[in-house]
Structure 1
Amino acid sequence: MNLNSKTEGRNDMNLMYESLARAQMTERLGEAQQLRRGHQLAVARRMSRKAEQAAQNARLALARAL
């Protein structure tokens, strides 16, 4: 095995590790985006319930005033 083939072997290994690192990073970014979407959905549901409750309270207040 000469120096050139050792260098090529190291280069190939480096490329494999870089490719693996890119794949893992892409996977983690996808997971983070899913978590954000889940959090945003939970916040939207909470705000919707608050708005429904406020509307109900307004209807009750109007009914009492009449």
Structure 2
Amino acid sequence: MVDYESIRKELDGRLKEHLSEMPSDAQFDFWSVGLGWTDRYLNKKMIADPSGDKIKYEVFKKNY
């Protein structure tokens, strides 16, 4: 049985941690689908593994 509540709490904690590291005047654009969140400002994705065992991070560098 996948413990979705604990995964949600873990992701929420990590999301708040990332938010606290941002400049106060930063513009945020969040979208959520299921248990995954994308923070376009940091270009990081936090995605719950389908098995529910791991939380995977995908970090994308901005192309400037």
Please tell me the TM-score bracket, short chain as reference: 0.3 to 0.5
If you compute each CA radius of gyration, which structure gives the higher value, 1 or 2?
1
Higher relative contact order (CA 8 A, sep 6+): 2
Give the structure-1-normalised TM-score: 0.32
Give the structure-2-normalised TM-score: 0.33
